[in-house]
Structure 1
Amino acid sequence: MNSLRLTVNGASVTQAVEPRTSLADLLRENLHLTGTHLGCEQGVCGACTVIVDGVPVRSCISNATGCGGAEVRTIEDFDEDPLMIELRQAFNAHHALQCGFCTPGMLIMARDIVERLGDADEQRIRQELAGNLCRCTGYSGIVKAVRSVIVARQANGVVAPPRSVGLGPAGCGHGAADETTAKPVISPPQPATASSATKAQLATPGKIGASAPSVKQSFVIDHPQDVIWRQFGNVPAMIRCIPGAALVGETEEGNYQVNMRIKMGPIGAQFAGVANQQRDDRTMTGVIHGAGRDERSASLAQGELSYALHEEHGGAATRVDLDVKYALSGALGQFARAGIVTHFIGAITAQFTENLRRSLSPEAGDPEPREASELRLAGSLAIAVKSWLGEIRRKLFSR
């Protein structure tokens, strides 16, 4: 992992990232700045455009560790910016958006054009926007919106100030205050074996940071609290309740060897790793830590399930509060978009709940083992996409 220091939206940020992490993934997954959209992830569509050291860049193809010491501004940092307010109003007036997916990157680029080229005509605006693709509007409204802001500023006597850019690619750290902030600190490489990687991750409880994406769920089971508490303490029985999980054995250190198969559409993986559990009998709370590696993709998955039991209906039933945190790195990390994986984990947790209820019913027998696949993924993703689009419209164009 690399220790990276940079400035994001005016705040100093220190993050531990893998060498392959893109600036877009750092912003979205680590810092939860999801206004930066990911489209092609090849630097073609421009949806991921942000400002680095005063210059628009494609964050999806910008290496995060190459931005040590740089100053990064995302669309969230322009909420109160006067020029961006003018552009948002112009985009509304000229119908320069439809689905809104390209809009954050388009606005970032439009602001740079107006600020840098105070007399740009329609042809020059089209040239400057050539790297930002829109599948909805036909570009006419976008170009008119940008041009209208330029004309209005010219009428008000606003002149684009001269701007100089330092040598070197944007984000290389040429604007850093000192050399140490521009260079990531490389930690020694770790062995790539499943056992060593997972044991290292499980050595310290609570390894997953507080800012990691999480899913919270609560449900009530018609069994007394002590019955549910004993069931949660039976690790092999709990593993059988997790879709796609299979118990392999137990290590000398008291950890459980587990295999976990997951599938999201055409993407499948099998993680081999270990899990352990810490429990507090007094408060009836516990934490299950797990980590595993998919050998085919060399991807590492970490999970942390916290649970708390509470009496319901005078002790005849139990409310179970779950908090599931997760982290996915390596080749499969590109599929770990917070919204998508959150919905996926939510569906897995729901299946776990159903299996737990079945395991407590003697006539039902053990839950039927099956691959962890989200049966409701399409519906969940439709809800997520609709929510994200609505949020970006409200945030960008409510003024």
Structure 2
Amino acid sequence: MYNFLSTYRFANGLEVKNRIVMSPMTTMASFYNGMVTKEEIAYYALRAGGPGMIVTGVANVSESGKGFEGELSITRDEMIPGLSKLAKGIQKDGTKAILQIFHAGRKSTSKVLRGEQPVSASKIAASYPADSEVPRALTEKEILQIIEDFGEATRRAIVAGFDGVELHGANTYLLQQFYSENANQREDDWGGSREKRLKFPLAVIEKVNQVVAKYSKGPFLVGYRISPEEIETPGIRLADSLYFVDQIKDKISYLHLSMGSYQRTSLNDKTDSRSLVSQFAEKTKGVVPLIGVGSVESPADAEAALADGADFVAIGRELIREPKWVQKAAAGEPLRNTLSPYDLDELAIPVAMQEYLQTAFRSVMHFTEDGTEFDSYQNNLAPMEGFEKKL
């Protein structure tokens, strides 16, 4: 009788069958124009039915927001039929389908954008990777258009039949860039003080909520994903993120942390031994549900994350290796904790995804040919958090 198998009812009435969430993970499996492929649908469908919710990999809301090749898009109504098939594939056996939406901002390249210069809050290149391009600072008109784009993306997600959207305000993408003093050094109403740097994400949340109120015929979630800290100076510190949560927690359906280990403590303040999950839980408890995440491999890990203050537990790499993780945990059956390269096709892992799992994420994927000593993200940023090497 694991706690993570208990049901949960959101404030808007949406009920999920358990507290396990499949983390949003990049598949790189969409068509060149961002439309859904059968390969993507098969990947999600194999993992559906177990988790209470599945959050898709990111879908860009603007043509200028594409961050990498093979990325899902929700920029046009023509995307809706494919997205509807994706939603239905996830929703079998009662799993709720959440579409993650974003704008990459300066974390894109002119190559990905077909010759167009990346955009951001200010004309400042990202600190990493070292060859990051200098973006063009968005005009106010363009900022207002991107806010509208988030709203239109939400409308399309509703029409496609998703149960919610998750605003990807983590991993150094545009929503985070506007809040970060590292990326946003504007001198107008969209930058400067911490309150002004909050204006863009707050405007996006407001627009999305307006669209949900107008178009949704039933309970529809608006989640928000956040990275607790940046390691650059200047940059977002834990106190900034906790302040941010105070400003948005009554405007969203859930808060989703983005980090490689649910046990992580502050990367900037080594004197702070408290887990980040517990510190965010102090802000969210009784107000908005919190999703903890990172290196949750066993049922015991999931229970520990809940005991630390999370209301939900997101698992990612474990569901890649073991698509029936929830069902097997509930039945008390052994869980596959390693991954054979020969099983990648059987596990319906898209071909492009297979390649980066065996490169950028290899040290934490537990490939059988790599022995029994595996890496972790306890004390360093993971690749999905926007960093490319250990601290």
What's the TM-score once normalised by structure 2's chain length? 0.21
Question: Which structure: larger Rg?
Answer: 1
Structure 1 or 2: larger strand share?
1
What's the TM-score once normalised by structure 1's chain length? 0.21
